[in-house]
Amino acid sequence: MYQPPGWLQELWNAREVLWSGFLTSIQCSALAIAAGTLIGMLAGLVLTYGGFFARLPIRLYVDLIRGTPVFVLVLAVFYMVPALGWQISAFQAGA
């Protein structure tokens, strides 16, 4: 009788946890796409039609955040926001 490899059995045993992680990734991605689209459109409108003082904070944000790796941003949110007194979950920090 065929005996599947050990890693396949471990994968099968962890299927519920993996499925939960997959669904969390989908939720996080959907929220990030929706929020990024909305914020990007608003920022684009301000950059196009706003005055100097309206454009300045958006340009600073774009120039500072654009080159920063996403992992660094997630860690910064996860550890710095609670230092300001706000309690957030790991999902909120990643989203």
Q: Structural domains in the chain?
A: 6-94 (1.10.3720.10)
DSSP 17-74: HHHHHHHHHHHHHHHHHHHHHHHHHHHHHHHHH--HHHHHHHHHHHHHHTTS-HHHHH
Task: Give pLDDT, residue 95.
Answer: 66
Task: Give pLDDT, residue 79.
Answer: 87
Burial class (CB in 10 A: 0-12, 13-18, 19+), 13: exposed
Task: Give pLDDT, residue 52.
Answer: 92
Query: Scanning the structure block, which residue is given the tokens 């991605």?
Result: 29
Task: Give pLDDT, residue 82.
Answer: 84
How many CA within 13 A on the CB side of residue 10?
3
Indicate the pTM of the whole model: 0.65
- Residues 92, 61: Cα–Cα separation, whole Å: 20
Task: Give pLDDT, residue 22.
Answer: 93
Chunk the chain into consecutive blocks of 10 residues (it has 95) and report each block's average pLDDT, rounded to whole numbers. 78 92 90 93 94 92 85 85 83 71
Task: Give pLDDT, residue 66.
Answer: 83
